[in-house]
Structure 1
Amino acid sequence: MDYSVDGSISSLPYPMFHRFCSQILPQIHHKIQWLHLELLTMNAILLSANYPNLYGLGLYGLKMQKVTYLFTDETLLYRFKNQISSLVIDIVDSDGANSLEIIRFIFTHLCAMFTNLRYLNFGPSLSKCQQLSFGTSSLEVVSSTISELHICVPCFLDCLYLLDGRFNQLHTLYVYITFIYVPQETINHKAYYILNNIFDSDEKIL
Structure 2
Amino acid sequence: MDNLNVGILDLPDEILLTIFKKLNNIDLLYSLIGINQKLNKIACDINFTKDVDLTTVLTNDTSDSRLNAMVDRFCTYILPQIHNNVESLSVQASLFQRIIRANNYPNLHKFILFNLEMDMISHIFNKKSLFIRSYKHQISHLVMTIKDAFRYRPLEIIIAQTYVAIFAWLSNLQYLDLDGIDGNLYLRRLLRGLSFSRCYTSNVAHLRIRIHNFDDCLCLLDGRLSQLHTLIVKLDYVRHSTIIINNDVKKYT
Aligned runs of 1:25-64 on 2, under 5 Å? 25-64=79-118
Q: 1:131 to 1:85 in 2, by over 3 A?
A: farther
Whether the 8 Å CA contact 1:120–1:150 is kept in 2: the answer is: yes
Indicate the RMSD between aligned Cα atoms, in angstroms: 2.7
- State the SS of the aligned residue for 1:168: coil
Q: How many pairs does the alignment contain? A: 191
Measured against aligned partners, the alpha-carbon deviations of 1:124-143 in whole angstroms (never above 9, x if no partner) come to: xxx35365313323233121
TM-score (norm 1): 0.81
Following superposition, the deviation at residue 76 of structure 1 comes to 1.8
Whether the 8 Å CA contact 2:55–2:91 is kept in 1: the answer is: no
Aligned runs of 1:102-181 on 2, under 5 Å? 102-105=157-160, 106-123=162-179, 127=180, 129=182, 132-137=185-190, 138-140=193-195, 141-181=199-239
Following superposition, the deviation at residue 192 of structure 1 comes to 4.2
Measured against aligned partners, the alpha-carbon deviations of 1:80-112 in whole angstroms (never above 9, x if no partner) come to: 111100001111112433263343111111011
Unmatched tracts of structure 1, length 5 or more = 198-206
Larger RCO (CA under 8 A, 6+ residues apart): 1
Whether the 8 Å CA contact 2:55–2:92 is kept in 1: the answer is: no
Identity %: 32
Distance 1:167 1:21 in 2: 38
2:122 alignment counterpart: 68
Whether the 8 Å CA contact 1:38–1:61 is kept in 2: the answer is: yes
Distance 1:153 1:8 in 2: 31
1:204 alignment counterpart: none
Whether the 8 Å CA contact 1:151–1:175 is kept in 2: the answer is: yes
Distance 2:251 2:231 in 1: 18
Poorly superposed stretches of 4+, deviation over 6 Å: 7-12
- State the SS of the aligned residue for 2:209: strand
Distance 1:153 1:85 in 2: 23
More displaced 10-residue stretch of structure 1: 85-94 or 129-138: 129-138
Whether the 8 Å CA contact 1:84–1:114 is kept in 2: the answer is: yes
Q: 1:45 to 1:9 in 2, by over 3 A?
A: farther
Distance 1:162 1:44 in 2: 35
TM-score (norm 2): 0.67
Q: 1:8 to 1:114 in 2, by over 3 A?
A: farther
Aligned runs of 1:193-204 on 2, under 5 Å? 194=252
Larger-Rg structure: 2
Bigger helix fraction: 2
Unmatched tracts of structure 2, length 5 or more = 1-53
